[in-house]
Amino acid sequence: MKLTMLKSKIHRATVTHAELDYEGSCAIDLNLMDQANILPFEQLHIYNVNNGERFTTYAITAPRGSGTIGVNGAAAHKASPGDLLIICTYAELEAKEAEHFNPALVYVNGDNAITHTSHGHLAAV
């Protein structure tokens, strides 16, 4: 049996721009992608903390160290600059593999700079 498990998360990233007239995607600072183990063109599930919108798109790279979180194409209707997003990826794992799998969790500040990371341990609220 396969289970769908959280593979990675960037928690409360701030949207830096939303561009409607662009091929759909989400541009993410390459530092964040590396730390969250997100590949270019990987499917993303995005949850907008500000308005409750939930949408699916794919990742594209933004310049390393830029702090960019850009929502492009039709998804730009679902997020505005300044909105906080939770960006997630998921993986299909066999049940035995899932028992020991730890997702990459990346936490950022208001400038999308990494404050800390974790592998499988949620931050206390």
Give catalytic status of residue 58 as yes or no: yes
Q: What is the distance between the terminal CA atoms of the chain, rounded to a whole angstrom?
A: 33
Annotated active-site residue in 58, 80, 90, 107: 58
Give catalytic status of residue 25 as yes or no: yes
Catalytic residues: 25, 58
